[in-house]
Copies of this chain bind each other. A is one copy, B any other.
Amino acid sequence: MRTDELTTPALIVERSVLEANLDTMTAALPGPRLRPHVKAHKTSALARRQHANGHTGFTCATVRECEVLAAAGLGADLLLANEVLDTRRLGALVRDGARVTVAVDSPETIAAAVSGGVHEVLVDVDVGQRRCGCRPEEAGELAAAARAAGLSVRGVMGYEGHLQGLIDPADRARRTAESMTLLLRAAKDVGGDVISGGGTGTHLDNTWATEIQAGSYPLMDTAYTKAGHPFGQALFVLGTVISAGRGHAVLDVGLKSLGMDHGLPSITGAQVLACSDEHTTFVADDPIRIGDRVRVLPAHVDPTVALHERMHVVDGDDVVETWAVDMRGW
């Protein structure tokens, strides 16, 4: 199949760039040094590729992501790097043979892990992001409470999410070190052998975490590309020009096929003017004709992927594979 036969808008992934991104990361963080985060791609076929590269543990943001990975035979070591109050579905995965570890940062989330039948936890520590996570000085007490409740405490996690977008390498390295100092202090109090953290933006800076939770690197977005990481833009939304000729052109790609929290998408060789539900209005440097196919570069990969039922792996204009985005929803 050719890309011009695809129904648009269509999520497409350039295979050569994807493969280079996967291999670059595996070379930097081989085997268990990387625990790929699946929230960015939500696609078990892509997780299988990461697994084939030697990364057998995965990071998840939702219960659904854990369920789909376990059903795909990728449940050897799943970390739900998020707090959950209703852990019944996670407990069912454990009973069915998956290994599931869940983040806890409070007595309530410890009690939830116990009541749902999840036996392994990490203590989640706020390392400066100011989202979830306990204070570093509270981590030891929470670990003791978890062990007293019968849980196995594997260690700590602390996500320096507020640093992922920093462009200046020296600033990013310095602040990552500060965040990891907080996490290491907590790790000493907590015990266990896991120190989980990091992301695509800090994957080289963060030399303290035992495993890095990077998720964006296979597909990438324009926000991350600006920071100069060694990964190429593999993900695009392919659109069709449906209207043109009054000084601008209109694509059938809109904010229902693009994550908009990081702002407008980009089009190479064109200026994007606006996005509405099913439209992107743009002015191109070269002449545009109705029916032309155009690649749109999303500003944020994660919420863009979550809007699509499938992604097409392409080699230029050839569609070589189609993968279900099967971890959507909750």
A interface list, Cβ under 8 A from B: 7-9, 39, 61-63, 82-86, 105-106, 108-109, 126, 130-133, 135, 161, 240, 242-246, 248, 250, 252, 255-257, 259-261, 274-279, 281, 290-291, 302-303, 306-309, 328-330
Contact = CB atoms under 8 A, between A and B. Distances in A.
A250 B126 CA distance: 13
Nearest to A250: B132
Nearest to A280: B131
Given A9-B330, A277-B303, 8 more contacts: A83-B250, A109-B242, A130-B281, A131-B243, A132-B279, A161-B276, A277-B302, A307-B307
A279 B7 contact: no
Binding site secondary structure of chain A: loop
A86 B7 contact: yes
Most buried by B among A84, A240, A256, A330: A256
A290 B106 contact: yes
* Most B-side CB within 10 Å, residue of A250, A274, A291, A303: A303
Contacts of A303: 255-256, 260, 277
Contacts of A242: 82-85, 109, 132
Nearest to A129: B276
Closest 6 CB pairs of A and B: A260-B261, A83-B242, A108-B290, A132-B243, A255-B261, A256-B306
Nearest to A244: B106
A281 B131 CA distance: 7
Contacts of A84: 242, 252
A85 B291 contact: yes
A85 B8 CA distance: 10
B261 A275 contact: yes
Contacts of A308: 329
A243 B138 CA distance: 14
Nearest to A106: B290
Contacts of A309: 328-329
28 contacts: A7-B86, A7-B330, A9-B330, A61-B278, A82-B242, A82-B278, A83-B242, A83-B243, A84-B242, A84-B252, A85-B240, A105-B243, A106-B245, A108-B290, A108-B291, A109-B243, A109-B290, A130-B246, A132-B243, A256-B303, A256-B306, A257-B330, A260-B303, A261-B275, A277-B302, A277-B303, A306-B307, A309-B329
A131 B82 CA distance: 41
